[in-house]
């Protein structure tokens, strides 16, 4: 295939690029060109900003067997790409998010694809929640535009994923836990870490996207993709501790105590936020036969990469680690 990847120069985009190239496909990347990619002369690069009309200039005379859109965030994005590639793309896959469910009123956990329909939450009054709400609302608008285009014959598929973990995670979320497990001090676990997690491994997202490209049974459909396991945060940290050989204490602490110490919960524990989706991946398993690799495999790879190539700096949330340790002593 000749595949166009919109985005494609960090994390899942890089993993997808390598997998496409390894599969013998021709790859074109389209992004703003602000970050380098590792593919050398093996890919074609188109530099542009979709918010300025560059897509029309760059793509109006092009045809692609497959398009993966990693950077569509609004209804305007969805409508523009569908209109532009209506008769010139064999298949478009838009990467969406589990937050399309989180902005739904009363959405169940785990969320299934059929739980998408229904009234959405009003604009939150708390500015802390506004960015996540806008992200979910924007992704829903993009999905709705592509779903409408699919009804008119445009071959589009939507893929919804939860929080993505992996060696290239530029948010450095799991890395923050690894540094804490290695530094010898207690690891603070907000409210005991009793909430369940169902994330996805970056390499598995890339594999899933490659597997569905060109599959006609996916046209017009939406699929959740996530790991099968649902450990609690505490159980996940225990697995990471075992992989590292760490003896650091996992110490429960009330989120209210963190607030009193002016330590943002997400700085201390990135997996303790309320805007973290919990998806049911059953449709992809039943209809497509695509199952996420075991959680332990991804965790082992992340830990091995971290130990072999530890970053020279620390994640931003680690900056007040001394305050965490003082709070642990006081508690």
pLDDT digits (tens, 9 = 90+) for 211-263: 999 999 999 999 999 999 999 999 999 999 999 999 999 999 999 999 999 99
Distance of CA 234 to the CA centre of its chain: 21
Q: Phi-psi region for residue 4, left (φ > 0), alpha (ψ -120 to 50) or beta?
A: beta
Order of all β-strands in the sheet with 26-31 = 43-47, 26-31, 2-6, 66-69, 92-97, 156-161, 222-224
Per the prediction, the chain carries an average pLDDT of 96
pLDDT digits (tens, 9 = 90+) for 134-189: 999 999 999 999 999 999 999 999 999 999 999 999 999 999 999 999 998 999 99
Overall number of domains in the chain? 1
Buried b (16+ CB within 10 A) or exposed e, 287-312: ebebebeebeebbebbbeebeeeeee
pTM for the model stands at 0.96
Both tokens of 257, joined, read: 């105590």
The CATH number assigned to the domain holding 261 equals 3.40.50.720
Task: Give me the pLDDT at residue 331, please.
Answer: 76
Task: Give me the pLDDT at residue 8, please.
Answer: 79
d(CA 141, CA 96): 11
Range of the domain at 27: 2-330
Task: Give me the pLDDT at residue 300, please.
Answer: 98
- Dihedral sign of CA atoms 225, 93, 168, 53 in order: negative
pLDDT band at 330 (very low <50, low <70, confident <90, very high): confident
pLDDT digits (tens, 9 = 90+) for 78-118: 999 999 999 999 999 999 999 999 999 999 999 999 999 99
Task: Give me the pLDDT at residue 174, please.
Answer: 97
Task: Give me the pLDDT at residue 23, please.
Answer: 97
Task: Give me the pLDDT at residue 219, please.
Answer: 98
């Amino acid at each position: 295939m000749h595949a166009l990847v919109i985005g494609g120069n960090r994390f899942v985009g890089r993993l997808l690029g390598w997998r496409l190239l390894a599969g013998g496909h021709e790859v074109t990347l389209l992004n703003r060109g602000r970050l380098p990619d590792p593919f050398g002369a093996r890919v074609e690069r188109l530099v542009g900003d979709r918010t300025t009309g560059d897509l029309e200039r760059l793509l109006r005379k092009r045809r692609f067997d497959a398009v993966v859109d990693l950077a569509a965030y609004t209804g305007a994005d969805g409508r523009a790409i569908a209109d532009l590639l209506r008769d010139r793309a064999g298949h478009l896959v838009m990467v969406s998010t589990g937050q399309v469910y989180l902005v739904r009123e009363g959405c169940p956990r785990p969320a299934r694809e059929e739980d998408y329909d229904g009234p959405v939450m009003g604009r939150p009054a708390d500015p802390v929640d506004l960015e996540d709400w806008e992200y979910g609302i924007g992704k829903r608008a993009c999905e709705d535009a592509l779903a409408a285009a699919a009804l008119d014959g445009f071959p589009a598929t939507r893929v919804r994923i939860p929080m993505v973990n992996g060696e290239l995670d530029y948010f450095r979320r799991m890395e923050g836990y690894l540094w804490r497990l290695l530094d010898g001090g207690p690891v603070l676990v907000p409210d005991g870490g009793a909430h369940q997690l169902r994330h996805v491994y970056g390499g598995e997202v890339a594999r899933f996207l490659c597997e569905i490209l060109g599959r006609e049974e996916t046209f017009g459909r939406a699929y959740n993709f996530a790991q099968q396991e649902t450990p609690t945060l505490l159980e996940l940290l225990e697995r990471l501790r075992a992989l590292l050989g760490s003896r650091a204490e996992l110490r429960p602490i009330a989120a209210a105590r963190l607030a009193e110490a002016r330590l943002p919960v997400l700085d201390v524990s990135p997996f303790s936020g309320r805007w973290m989706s919990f998806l049911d991946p059953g449709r992809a398993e039943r209809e497509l036969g695509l199952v996420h690799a075991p959680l332990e495999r991804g965790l082992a790879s992340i830990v091995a990469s971290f130990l072999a190539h530890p970053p020279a700096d620390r994640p931003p949330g680690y900056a007040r680690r001394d305050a965490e340790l003082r709070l642990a002593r006081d508690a």
